[in-house]
Chains A and B, each alone.
Chain A
Amino acid sequence: MFTRIVLYATTHQLGAGFWRWGKLRWHGRFTRDETGRRQFGQFLQAHGKTTVCLLVDAVEEDYRLETLPHVRGGTRKALLARKLEQHYHHTPFRTACFVGCDQQHDRRSDRYLFAALSVSECLQDWLEIMAAHQTRLQGVYLMPMLSEELVRRLQFAKPHLLLNERLNSGLRQSYLHHGRLLFSRLVLMPPLAQHELAMFLADETEKARLYLISQRLIESDTALGLLAPTMGEGGERDVDEMDPKQLPSCSLDMAKLARKLGLDPQRLSTHPELLHMQVLARGGSIAADLAPAALTRTYCLGKLQWRLRMFTVAVVLAALAFSALNWRQGRELELQRLQAWQATQRQQALERRLPQNPVATPATGADLQRAVTLRMALDRYPHSPRRMMVVLGAALAFTPEIRIDRLRWMLSESLSPADQNQSVQSALHGSVNALYELGFVSGVTTGFAGDYRTAGASIERLAGQLRAQSVVAEVVVLQAPTDLSTGTGLSGSTASTSEMPQEAAFKLKLVLKREAT
Chain B
Amino acid sequence: MLGLGFALMCAILAAIVFQQRMLNTEQVLQQQLDQLAQARRHYQTAVQERQLVARYLPGYQQLAASGLVGQEHRRQWLEALRHIQRQHGLATIDYRLAPQQAYQPSFWQDHGAWRLYRSVMQLQLVMLHEGDVLTLLDALFADFGAVFMLRECTLERRLDSPTAAFGAHCELDWLTLDEPAKGAY
Asked if A326 and B15 make an inter-chain contact with CB atoms under 8 angstroms apart, the answer reads yes
Asked if B180 and A362 make an inter-chain contact with CB atoms under 8 angstroms apart, the answer reads yes
Asked if B107 and A316 make an inter-chain contact with CB atoms under 8 angstroms apart, the answer reads no
Chain A residue at smallest Cβ distance from B144: A383
Q: Which B residues are CB-close (under 8 A) to A359?
A: 57
Min CB distance B126 to A, Å, is: 15
Q: Number of contacts between A and B (CB, 8 Å)?
A: 230
The CA of A87 and the CA of B125, in the complex, are separated in Å by 137
For A, the interface residue count at a CB cutoff of 8 angstroms equals 71
Q: Which B residues are CB-close (under 8 A) to A71?
A: none
Tell whether A340 pairs with B36 under 8 Å between CB atoms, given A326-B19, A354-B50, A385-B153: yes
Tell whether A366 pairs with B52 under 8 Å between CB atoms, given A330-B21, A377-B108: yes
Min CB distance B104 to A, Å, is: 12
Main secondary structure of the interface of B (DSSP, over half): helix
The CA of A384 and the CA of B153, in the complex, are separated in Å by 8
Asked if A347 and B36 make an inter-chain contact with CB atoms under 8 angstroms apart, the answer reads yes
Min CB distance B40 to A, Å, is: 6
The CA of A420 and the CA of B39, in the complex, are separated in Å by 62
Interface stretch (choices A200-208, A278-286, A428-436, A469-477): A428-436
**Which among B15, B105, B109, B157 is the interface contact of A323 at CB below 8 angstroms?**
B15
Min CB distance B9 to A, Å, is: 9
The CA of A340 and the CA of B39, in the complex, are separated in Å by 11
Asked if B15 and A319 make an inter-chain contact with CB atoms under 8 angstroms apart, the answer reads yes
Interface stretch (choices B85-93, B94-102, B130-138): B130-138
Min CB distance B180 to A, Å, is: 5
Chain B residue at smallest Cβ distance from A319: B11
Interface string of B29-42 (1 = CB under 8 A from A): 10011011001101
Min CB distance B60 to A, Å, is: 5
Min CB distance A260 to B, Å, is: 40
Q: Which B residues are CB-close (under 8 A) to A329?
A: 22
**Which among B46, B108, B149 is the interface contact of A383 at CB below 8 angstroms?**
B149
Q: Which A residues are CB-close (under 8 A) to B68?
A: 371, 375
A-B contact pairs, 18 of them (CB 8 A): A319-B15, A322-B15, A327-B18, A330-B22, A336-B29, A337-B28, A347-B42, A357-B53, A363-B60, A364-B112, A368-B53, A368-B57, A372-B56, A377-B108, A383-B141, A405-B159, A409-B154, A409-B155
Instruction: List 7 additional A-B contacts (Cβ < 8 Å) besides A337-B32, A354-B46, A411-B151.
Output: A316-B7, A337-B25, A362-B180, A384-B153, A408-B155, A409-B154, A434-B107
